[in-house]
Amino acid sequence: MDTKITISDLLAAKRQNRKIVAVSCYDYTTAKLISQTSVQMILVGDSAAQAMLGFDSTLPATMDFMVAITAAVRRGAPNVYLVADMPFLSYQVSKAEAVKNAGRFVAEAGAQMIKIEVSGAYLDTIKAISDAGMAVMAHIGIRPQTISKIGRFKAEATTAEMALELIALAGQMVQAGASSLLIEGTAAEVAEIITKRCELPVIGCGSGPGCDGQILIAPDILGLTQGPRPKFAKSYSNLADDIIETFNDYSKEVESGRFPDSGHSYHMKAGELDRLQKLLKGKL
C-alpha cells in the first residue's frame, strides 16, 4: 500500500461497516510481506516473548525488547497502522512511567497507538497517556499479563453478570480517552454488544465475528505454530511442515556435496588463477 494508514482510516472503516484486518507480527521480514497485502493494522504484541523467545507466558517481555522489535516492524511495514504492546511492569508502577514508556514506542519505534491490558484500576493511566497526545488501545477480556494471578485463562463474560461488568468497563475506557478497544477471549454475543455501543474501532481476538476487526498472531495464520493453540486460532497454511522439509533438503545437499555448486560460489577473474599458481610455484 502506498498511503500510510491513520486512525482516521480506521474510524472511517468502523462507520462504513468495513472490517479491519489486523495481524500480530514481531519481525522485519514478516512485516515487509504483510505490507504487500490488504492488512491494515499490525500489533507488535508481547506474545513475542512466547512466539520468538520460547517463554511460557508474555511476562518476560521487556521494554527494550518490545521497542526494538516494534521499530523493526515499522521499517518493514512503513505504511501499515502500527500498534505497540506495553509489556508487563511498563505501566503498572506509575502513571508517569506509563506515559514515558508509551512515548518511547512513539518516538523510538514509530508506533501510532499504544495497547494496554486494562482493568478499572487503569482508567487514570489510559487518561494520562491519551492526555499526553498518544492514541491508546484498551485491551479487555482475557488479559495474558494476569496469568500469575489467575493461574489459567477461561472465556470472559459468559454470564449476564460478567457481561454487564465488561460492557461497563468498555464504556469507562472510552470515557477515559481510549481510541480503540481490543477484546480477547470474550463471549461473542457480549463482544458484539460492546462493538455496537462503541463509536471507536473494536478489534476482536477470539471474541466472535461481531467486532469491527479481527487479529491473530502471524505464526498461527501461517501454520508455523506446533502443539496446542487457542480455540479461536485458525491457520491458513501449513508452513511448519514445508519449512522442515526445506531444511532437510538443504541438509541433504550440504551432506552430499551438491551445495554450494559453481553457480552459488564466487570466482577469481579470468586468468587470475593461472597467475596465482605461477606465483605460488615461484615461492616454492
Active-site annotation holds for 184: yes
List the catalytic residue out of 117, 156, 184, 192.
184
232 and 24 in contact (C-beta within 8 Å)? Answer: no
Dihedral class, residue 205 (left if φ above 0, else alpha if ψ from -120 to 50, else beta): beta
* Closest to 91 (Cα-Cα) out of 56, 57, 63, 52: 63
Cell of 173: 475506557
Side-chain half-sphere exposure of 136, counting CA atoms within 13 A: 31
The β-bridge relationship of strands 180-184 and 202-205 is: parallel
Per the listing, cell 482493568 goes with: 119
Q: State how far the Cα of 227 lies from the Cα of 222, in Å rounded to an integer.
A: 14
Residues with catalytic function = 184
